[in-house]
Every structure is written in structure tokens, then in C-alpha cells.
Amino acid sequence: MAKLYLQRHLKSQWNVDDRFAGWTNAPLSKEGVDMAKDVANRIINEKIDVGFTSPLARNMQSVIEIYKNFEKYPFFSHLDGGKMQEWGNFDKIADNCIQFFVTEKLNERYYGELQGLNKAETKNKYGQEQVLLWRTSYKDAPPGGESGIDVYNRTVPFYKEFVEKQLMQGKNILIVSSHHPLRSIIKYIEKIKDDDMIKVEIPFAGLVTYEFDESMNVISKN
């Protein structure tokens, strides 16, 4: 059996400022950093073999802040050309660290013309219902940005190639990422209908855990 941990990043400064962050490199807020210990306590006793994250600052910084509470230290290795790069002596130091592979496939949804805008002001301009669709629906895309379908089409093939295969080998995987890539993975795992995706929400620092049997059937979710 294998476990998958889907961890949404800690709260960033742009989250505090209520802005559409998208692909920007907003750092974590003080509130976000303060969340790290509670997040770490949820998984500190779990055996995690390998991690994945995106190059966005709030995702990588979340990994670092969470692992400050462990006796292990995260090592980052960028996924280049679809190949997982193993570091020369990594196996010998694996007891003291965990390797995180970094990929743009796990970046947040690109918000196009909305990126950087204040969410409350955007709701006043376009209406709350329209902004909700741009934020959480599967088919609607913000002007010049990605739809949920677009995020799914870059995230899920990556998940199948690099994460699912390792889960099938019995490895426990931690993914620290942004809201929409994690929602895409949840949609794939749970076979959620397109129209029901608007109901799928993960709070800042939220954790979703799946346990799989040898045939990759979900046997528990927390």
C-alpha cells in the first residue's frame, strides 16, 4: 500500500493582500510561516519517500518552512526534459534528507489579465458570480488565462508519469503545490465530474491524504 499527501502551500503575502497570485513569485506571509509547525505535525510521523513541488516561491518556501520542523532537510532537483535526476550520493544521505523534484507542471493556474489584481475589486467590476467561475469552475478561463481544463491537461499527465508510477511501487509521495494543480489531481483520482469541480476547495495549508491498494484503488481518504 502507498500513500499520497496533497499539501496546499502556506498562505502567501498576496493571499493576505487578496490578490490573484497565479504565476507570480509572492513570498510567504508571516501568517503563512506561522502555519508551518501545525502542518508539519500532521505528517511528522509519516514515512515520506519523495516529494514534488513547483518553482513558485510560495511552494518551495512552504516545503522549506515545513521541513524546518523535521530532522530531514529538503533537497531540490529540477525535472528537466522529462527525466528524474538522481544526485550522485543521494542514497547515502537519504536518511537525513528528502528529495523534492521541481516542475512547472505543478504551477498554479495562470490568471492572465487578472493576475495581480485585488479580488474584491475584481468582484465589484465583473460580479461575484463571474469571478467565482473564473476561480473555481473547470471550463471557464479568466481573460488571457488558463481554464481548469488547461491546468488538468498539464498536471495530470505529469502525475501519471512521475507520481502514479512511484505510488504503484509502494512509495509514499508528498506534493506541495497550489490550489488548482491539486484540484486537478483530486479530480483524476476521484473521477469528479466537470460540473462538480466548482465544489472542490482546499484551504491554505490544507492537506488531503489518499491511501491506495496495490491496484491503485483508493482505500482511504483523509
Active site residues: 9, 108
CB 51 within 8 A of CB 100: yes
| Signed CA dihedral, 7, 164, 95, 46: sign only | positive
C-alpha span between 220 and 181 (Å, rounded): 21
Sheet holding 173-177, edge to edge: 73-78, 97-102, 50-53, 173-177, 2-8, 207-212, 218-221
Residue 78 pairs in a beta bridge with: 102
| Signed CA dihedral, 205, 5, 41, 76: sign only | negative
Grid coordinates given for 174: 508528498
Alpha helices in the chain (DSSP H): 13-16, 30-43, 57-67, 90-93, 119-126, 128-136, 148-158, 165-168, 179-190
C-alpha span between 77 and 168 (Å, rounded): 22
